[in-house]
Structure formats: C-alpha cells, structure tokens
Chains A and B, each alone.
Chain A
Amino acid sequence: MMDTQWPRWEVFKQDAPGKPHQAVGSVHATDPQHALVTARTVFVRRPSAVSLWVVPARVILARTAEELVTEGELPATEPEAAAPQRYLVFRKTNHRRSMTFVDYALTLEAASPEAALRRAREHFAHSPTLVWWIVPEAAITRSDESPETVESWFAPARDKTYRQQSSYGVVGSHISKHKQRPQGAERD
C-alpha cells in the first residue's frame, strides 16, 4: 500500500549525565519539534532521562555485523570533492542482556556515511560490533541543554511517585495491614 504516514524519527535517550545516548525506539512526526515532544511523552514517562535526540530514520546508515560480512564493503559513493561532514557513530556491542542498546560511541569527520562507517570500523577494529548506526550530526535535533529546560522536561516525573512500582512496595508483604482497616485511613 502507499505509504502516506508521517516520517519516522529514531529517538535517542540519555539516562544520566556522562552516559551514552541510546537508541530506544521511534516516533512518527511531522517536524523535529513534534518528534521531540512526542518522544518525551512516549519514552520519558518515568524519571530516567536528561536529554533526548531525534533523527529522521531515512538519514541513518544502519548495518549489522552480519550484513557487512554477507554484503562486503560498502561502495564508495562519496563525490571526490565532497566537503567532510561530522558523523556520530553508534554501536551495539553485546548480546548478553536484553537491554543492550545501540549506544553513541564516537563523532568523526568523513566525506560520506559510508566513509564514516569505514573509519569507525577501523577505529573499533579490536572491539567486536554487532550493529552500526551512522548519523549525520547536522540531522540531529536535540532537547535544549539549559538547566531550566532539562528541569522542566525531565524532572516532573520524579514527583509522580504513584507511577513507580516502589510506591506500592508494601502490597504483597503486609496483607494483614489491609485487613485491619486502620481508623481514619483514606477509603477509596
């Protein structure tokens, strides 16, 4: 069928300062700001983020280790005189846990995404990579890094303790408490 849906944006979330941005999923949106706001709603309903990036999915060069083996080297499509651009390299490096993401690893300059991938593979030649994503830096829209914005975007979830499973931590262990109907307790 004809694809008339809004463009897809990959979402990268940073859980805490100093941790890498990780690919967490995607949203469909009309423009970068719409994508960021939707990403915040979908991926930051709980307090573990300080920054979000969104990137149009179509500009990402993604290759798995298996594709690189079966397809061989990527053709050099860069024009001879192309001015170098900055690219962000993301990698997934192990299978061991379910939560192994494609994580931000490095920024480098190259004439094309393919050239960036080649350079990234040389750079990490001694560290096996299972998934590569090459993202042009110019295509990234980032959440505002000012402390005020970080606070207003990501802090409110911290006060919503009722969203946390720990808020109901006593439920299993003290059933007897619920049988006593303490006087004055809120009934609902």
Chain B
Amino acid sequence: MTTAQDPRLDPRLEAFEARIARGEKIEPGDWMPDEYRRQLIRMISQHAHSEYVGMLPEGEWITRAPSLRRKMILMAKVQDEAGHGQYLYHAAETLGATREDMMDALLSGRAKYSSIFNYPSLTWADVGMIGWLVDGAAIKNQTMLAGCSYGPYSRAMVRICSEETFHHKQGKEMILTYAAGTPAQRRMAQDALNRWWWPSLMMLGPHDQDSPNTAVLSRWGIKLKSNDEVRQEFINEHVPELLEAGLSIPDPDLRFDEASGNWIHGPINWDEFWAVVKGNGPMNRARLEARRFAHEDGAWVREALAAYGARSQAQAAD
C-alpha cells in the first residue's frame, strides 16, 4: 500500500474496523476504506462472471440430457446460475460499479472468472461431477462468504448457498447412480472424477502463502477462512463419500492423517492453475467466444425491449 492512500491514516478506519470486530454489516452508504471497496468489487464481479461463464459447460448438455427429469434439473440449474450472476452484479453495483462496465470487462477479457470453467465437459458424467465437486467446492467457499462483513454480498451469498445445495445434491445423486450402474457408467463416473478432481482443488485458490489478497480480506471480514482451510474442509467432506461410492481419487499421495483428522492431498500443479488463470486453459478462448456470441446474438432482444419500452412510455404520455 502506498502512503498517499494508506487507509490506516484515515481517522474513520478505527471505527470501521471496530464495527467489523463487533460483527456488524457494512452497508452501501457507510464509510469504507477505498481498498475495501476495491477488493469487494474485484471479488464480487469475478464471482458474478464465474456464474455466467459457468452456464456454458453445463448448458451444452441440455439438449443431450438422458431423460426428461435430468433435462429439467439441468435447465433449472443453468437458470439458477444466471440468477446468481444477477444477485452478484447487483451487490457490486451497490459499491459503484456499473453492470455495463462489468459486462464489458468480462466480454473483452479484462476480467477474470473461476479457472474451473475453462475445462471441457466431455461426457454426461461431467455434468454430475460438476454438480458434486465444483458446486460442492463453491458451497464451501460461499458459506464462508455468507458471513462476510459487507451486507449486500453476504445476503446474496445466503440466497445462493441455499440454491447451490440443490446443485450439489443432484450432482451427487447422478454420480452415485452411475457409480452403481453398468461397467460403462462406472467408467464414465471414474473418468469424470479423474479429470475434475484437481481443477476442483485448484478453484479454491492458491495456497495461503501465495495468496496476495488474503491478509487484507481477512482483516476486514471479507474472507473468514483461508483458501487452504476451505480446501481442507472440501476434501474432508468429499473424499470419504467418493470412496464409499466405489470411485478412486486420482492422487497417489492422498492419505488420512489420524492426528489431525484430515485427508492430506499430494502436490497441486500450480503451473497449470496459473496458465489457466492467465487465459491458456483448454477452453478459455471458446468460453469467451461463446459469451460474446450470446451477447451479440441477443442484441435484437435488447433492441426490441428498448423499442417496446419507449413506445409504452410515449403512449402513457399521450
């Protein structure tokens, strides 16, 4: 932090930090350090973008769902992701960001979104594995963020978590069905786990010592747990369930540590993580192209709505 803008010099900071220490929520009109506002806009808009891009790997499978029930579930889930994006964009707007600017940042590639959505969904079992693992990891993160100090973000997260629980459970049900199914179904489930396990661990972010924003985020009650803590919770919950389903985890170093009660994972390939974050994952370009296409292809809907709205207003004025 530079001394010129050092928020530690602002006399209002002490009262602000005392409020957070008391567990109070910060609301949009309250004073807040510039850095608190900046970090929140960064996190919330990235989160919103992730919900939007997250529609793509699953949306591809709506037409190919194996039953009407599965198709309805998937359509509801993809619709939820769009809704979650809306809640989150709104929360960022309360901090002064505009929807238009945030959308432009996503479509132009200026903004980041979750690394996980840059992997392809190759089979129907991937849809289940995304629900079980990716949404499972997201819920762990989001449950923590539901307790965060900024009111609108916290409220959006509570709503999102209750809806994500449906995503998590339907994915788990789907995989358990396959894991207990025909040999071909079991192979599909195992193959999906092999491909999604490591990206799911990575999506919770770099190790704490490599996470540049964690200190300031935890100091101001935005993040109540570190990346490694959330990752450990995720692993401890999911490993026993995956093993019980008869699947094997693609980590030769994975072991249960009796002393701590934790499952200990082997080294994560962070080179791959950073390559994906920097735009060189398997699907980065295709995802952004699909988003841009959807935006441009939907231009006529926006124009029609604007024309209808203008005409209604003109008629009302007559």
Contact = CB atoms under 8 A, between A and B. Distances in A.
A4 B169 CA distance: 40
Residue of B24, B76, B245 with highest tally of chain A CB at under 10 A: B76
A92 B70 CA distance: 40
B162 A131 contact: no
Contacts of B67: 186, 188
A172 B241 contact: yes
B29 A66 contact: yes
Contact of A165 (B70, B165, B308): B165
Interface string B138-177: 0000000011000100111111001101101110110011
Interface stretch (B85-93, B206-214, B292-300): B85-93
Interface stretch (B94-102, B109-117, B194-202): B94-102
A162 B72 contact: yes
Interface stretch (A74-82, A94-102, A104-112, A118-126): A94-102
Contacts of B309: 29-31, 34
B28 A62 contact: yes
Contacts of A171: 169, 172-173, 176
Given A46-B163, A70-B31, A175-B244, A188 B177 contact: yes
B23 A95 contact: yes
Interface string A6-37: 10100000000000000011111111011000
A interface residue count range (under 10 / 10 to 19 / 20 to 34 / 35 or more) = 35 or more
Interface string A159-188: 010111101110110010011110000111
Interface string B1-43: 0000000000000000000000111011111000000000000
A90 B3 CA distance: 40
A148 interface: no
A92 B93 contact: no
A134 to B, nearest CB: 13
Contacts of A6: 306
A155 interface: no
Contacts of B63: none
A178 B176 contact: yes
Nearest to B146: A98
B245 A163 contact: no
A181 B180 contact: yes
B83 interface: yes
A1 B241 contact: no
Q: Which 6 A-B pairs have the closest CB atoms?
A: A30-B309, A168-B169, A64-B29, A31-B309, A5-B100, A178-B176
Interface of B: 23-25, 27-31, 66-67, 69-70, 72-73, 76, 79-80, 82-83, 86-87, 90-91, 93, 98-101, 104, 146-147, 151, 154-159, 162-163, 165-166, 168-170, 172-173, 176-177, 179-181, 241, 244-246, 305-306, 308-310, 312-313
7 contacts: A1-B98, A25-B91, A99-B155, A99-B158, A172-B241, A179-B180, A188-B70
